[in-house]
Amino acid sequence: MSKTIIITGGAGFIGSHVVRLFVNKYPDYRIINLDKLTYAGNLSNLKDVEQKPNYKFVKMDICDFPAVLKLMQDEQADGIIHLAAESHVDRSIKDPFSFAQTNVMGTLSLLQAAKAYWESLPEKYEGKRFYHISTDEVYGALEMTNPEGIEPPFSTKASSGAHHLAYGSAFFTEKTKYQPHSPYSAAKASSDHFVRAFHDTFGLPTIVTNCSNNYGPYQFPEKLIPLFVNNIRHRKPLPVYGKGENDRDWLYVEDPARAIDLIFHKGQIAETYNIGGFNEWKNIDIVKLLIKTTDRLLGRPEGVDMDLITYVTDRAGHDLRYAIDSTKLQRELGWEPSLQFEEGIEKTVRWYLDNQAWLDAVTSGDYQKYYESMYQGR
């Protein structure tokens, strides 16, 4: 059945993979990419779909409630998949206001617009969906009770490589109490509460997912993996925060994009689903893997760039360990990651090395001219 879906933040990292998946998989749907094009938005991430008849880009700020409401009315939107956010923890430490503005007020503006538009329709909320994409960081940090790592109680394709470890026995479940520590995660937590409040108060058909760390092509090179691949290539120092002992659960971005598709179509209204890979890695182990992989792909002796590792002052309030229990999603909707980490890292490093022009455009700021050339005057 045909649907019109607004995907917010579609020019960002995860959003561009979600837009690509929906545009290609659902030719009957109309996919509207609503994005403000902040520093993190890059329309060249979507070059391969921008001419498709079922795709449309709209430059808009989610905080602009009248504009969002008008867009929903004009486009007769049936669903919203909401990814737009300020997403980088280090930036939130420097400028918390913009995180509260976009992540909290922007989400509220979308909720109000969806409520106002859908309530004005004869069928009201029938067949409608507001799907909010959130993060595991809202749950706070887990203890590192097994610093050497143990066989985890669960495994997935993502964790089935040579490295298959959990650094503690506790995991974030959908029932874990919220305990955000950074201004970023505090703002995301607040937005999650607003989404659930709109379901409980007004009956808005909402779904929330909390996902672990994503990696893959088109990630802005301020985040660990693309930043470090680029630095290794150019033999620049690799700034490892603290002792590099912090641990994250990683997923190749196309896997969460598939989960988002599945949950948007088959998830239960008012439910929360955790998305994770049971694939924990300490930062320092990832950095070593990135160095070896990048060196090998560049034809350098493997590991020759280990001396680029530079331990720097830790991130303020740095969460020690994130580990997601995604059993509910696996059991109820049958989702599983498709790629093991070493394969995903190889694919990702290769992509950044093959797409140096993308990285150069992003690091020089030239990517922001792409919008001017593509969309001005339309």
Could you tell me which stretch among 67-75, 212-220, 331-339, 355-363 binds ligand NAD (CB under 6 A)?
A: 212-220
Within 173-202, which residues bind ligand NAD (CB under 6 A)? 188
Q: Is 136 a catalytic residue?
A: yes
Report the partner that residue 241 touches, choosing among ligand DAU, ligand NAD, none (CB closer than 5 to 8 A by kind).
ligand DAU
Residue 79 structure tokens: 């669903």
Give residue 98's region: left, alpha or beta (phi > 0; psi -120 to 50).
Answer: alpha
| 80: contact with ligand NAD by CB under 6 A | no
∠ at Cα 58 (55, 62), nearest 5°?
Answer: 125
| Cα distances (Å, whole numbers) of residue 116 to 4, 8, 101, 285, 296 | 17, 18, 21, 49, 55
Among positions 228-267, residues that touch ligand NAD (CB under 6 A) are none
The reply to whether 305 sits near ligand NAD by the rule CB under 6 A is no
CA atoms of 141 and 148, how far apart (whole Å): 18
User: Nearest approach, Cβ of 364 to ligand DAU (angstroms)?
Assistant: 19
Of residues 129 through 148, those in contact with ligand NAD by CB under 6 A are 133, 135
CA angle, 194 then 337 then 8, to 5°: 35
Asked whether position 107 contacts ligand DAU by CB under 6 A, the answer is no
Q: Across 46-152, where does the E strand assignment appear?
A: 55-59, 79-82, 129-135
Tokens of 168: 């503690």
Does residue 62 interact with ligand NAD by CB under 6 A?
yes
State the binding partner of 272 from ligand NAD, ligand DAU, none, CB within 5 to 8 A by kind. Answer: none
Q: Burial level of 111, CB count in 10 A (0-12/13-18/19+)?
A: buried
Per the structure block, which two tokens stand in for 20? Answer: 């690509």
Stretch that binds ligand DAU, among 22-30, 41-49, 234-242, 272-280 (CB under 6 A): 234-242
User: Site size for ligand NAD, by CB under 6 A?
Assistant: 30
* Interaction between residue 63 and ligand NAD (CB under 6 A): yes
Helices 107-119 and 183-202, interaxial angle, to 10°?
A: 20
Element (H, E) at 295: helix 283-298
Rg (CA), the chain: 20
CA dihedral 268, 272, 276, 281 (to 10 degrees): 180
DSSP state of 272: E
3-state secondary structure of 144: coil
Q: Which residues have CB under 8 Å from 150's CB, separation 6+?
A: 165, 166, 169
Q: Is 202 a binder of ligand DAU (CB under 6 A)?
A: no
Which residue shows structure tokens 């988002």?
A: 260
Which CB sits closer to ligand NAD, 87 or 230? 87
Active site residue 249: no
Nearer to ligand NAD (CB atom), residue 226 or residue 295: 226
In the complex, which residue's CB is closest to ligand NAD? 12
Active-site annotation holder among 61, 86, 136, 305: 136
Contact range with ligand NAD by CB under 6 A, out of 80-88, 258-266, 296-304, 368-376: 80-88
Q: Is 346 a catalytic residue?
A: no
Choose the binding region for ligand NAD from 23-31, 33-41, 154-162, 164-172 (rule: CB under 6 A): 33-41
User: Judged by CB under 6 A, which of 88, 163, 296, 300 binds ligand DAU?
Assistant: 88
Residue number with CB closer to ligand NAD (5 or 211): 211
Residues of this chain that interact with ligand DAU (CB under 6 A) are: 87-89, 135-137, 212-213, 223-224, 227, 239-241, 246, 248, 283, 315, 322
Q: Which residues are catalytic?
A: 136-137, 184
Residues of this chain that interact with ligand NAD (CB under 6 A) are: 8-9, 11-15, 35-38, 40-41, 61-63, 83-87, 102, 106, 133, 135, 188, 211, 213-214, 220
